[in-house]
Structure 1
């Protein structure tokens, strides 16, 4: 079958993939904050591309749930409401528990080694204080567990949820605690203990939700302190 794609088409597609990955990581890693503007013209200048790959990237990220597109104006980084978080937690309650249980039942040696490597890397990055790296490794750990479930439909659903789940997993401040729980989950999977994997996964979800709430509270307190500091500075200047 003849490939009708021109070099320019391939180049544009490659640029779109690169731009999408850059913006996705910046949103998940917290470089671009919720509610911040994503203006095509500015992003094109910043990333050194035309507006076409920017436009395509924003469409893709909107489909992943990370960007809110507004007709005839700029896009914004999505602000997850309490309702959005509650919906995601409900889906993860079913999805994660099933993934871990099936992984304990169906994993193979190669997949288990891959999971162990992700777990060990997350622990190492946590000890080193590499927040972004630890968050990414934690998300990789969950993605590998889904692969080990051996359920193609579950993997497809995981791909649809991946960006939102990675964003939520990036809202954790206690990296050591997460790494410890991942080590316990790995051990249950390695020993094919489905009941323990299921129970630990349920507990881990509770930990994730508490971590998210604490992270949100910390950010709110930080904003409050900055506001108070600005007000004090203005008073001193008066």
Structure 2
């Protein structure tokens, strides 16, 4: 099935303004799987920012042919995850300072309103789930499991947005969620326990039904993340380059 495009036929009858029969191609599962795998590898830093991406290496890493890798890289380029440079190839995108500011500003606006509405509509069950996510995220943070902490952070923010009851907020937040995770992953160790203390205060405000306080805490929370990101970038810019290290052997991934 992976080697052929699945086809859907739309028939236009004689009374439909003469529209001809068309075939609509659906994306193949393999192409989609490669895209998802590469996106997650960019987000978690396996494919670090500025890295030169070689099709044959990625194909070997994922256990696929070069064609779905090429198609996935084109889509990643269109979405801003990868930069395709004529004569050089693909590189993982390096976000500019204003790019990060714009996204995190949009996130602050979306999520502060989500927090306000969540405080208005939250049920006891909703608040209990948020408290459990705080507990799990804090445990991940304390154990040094950054991937787990970042994942749980995303789940908590997504839950708060869903609690708002506003489907447009949910849709808009979903569009920026992955990019936010990408920006947040490097600063998660820096933000550490402070981030989860802020989450706990936020959940308390939501549980108390205090709309203004919930929105304020969320705004402050997102601003702390933005500042931590810029502080980290400034620190890395002034640090001496690390000593050359031998590349670690790559673990083969298989995309099914």
- TM score, norm. by length of structure 2: 0.76
Unpaired segments of 5 or more residues in structure 2? 7-26, 246-256
For 1:59-98, what aligned pairs fall within 5 Å after superposition?
Answer: 59-70=74-85, 74-98=89-113
Unpaired segments of 5 or more residues in structure 1? 231-238
Name the SS of the counterpart of 1:69 in structure 2.
strand
- TM score, norm. by length of structure 1: 0.81
Instruction: State the distance in 2 between where 1:123 and 1:17 align.
Output: 33
Alpha-carbon RMSD across the aligned residues, in angstroms, is: 2.7
Q: Report how many aligned residue pairs link the two structures.
A: 223
CA radius of gyration, larger in: 2
Q: Which moved more, 1:61-70 or 1:116-125?
A: 61-70
Matched, 1:38 2:53: yes
Instruction: Between the two structures, name the one with larger relative contact order (CA 8 Å, sep ≥ 6).
Output: 2
Contact 1:115 1:144 in 2 (8 A): yes
| 2:242 maps to which of 196, 213, 226 | 226
Q: Which moved more, 1:134-143 or 1:196-205?
A: 134-143
The 4+ residue runs of structure 1 with deviation greater than 4 A are 5-10
Contact 1:126 1:134 in 2 (8 A): yes
Matched, 1:119 2:134: yes
Q: Deviations over 1:156-188 (max 9, x none)?
A: 111211111111221312311111111111111
Instruction: State the distance in 1 between where 2:238 and 2:144 align.
Output: 22
Instruction: State the distance in 2 between where 1:181 and 1:165 align.
Output: 18
For 1:179-218, what aligned pairs fall within 5 Å after superposition?
Answer: 179-218=196-235
Report deviation, 1:207: 0.9
> Which residue of structure 1 aligns with residue 21 of structure 2?
none
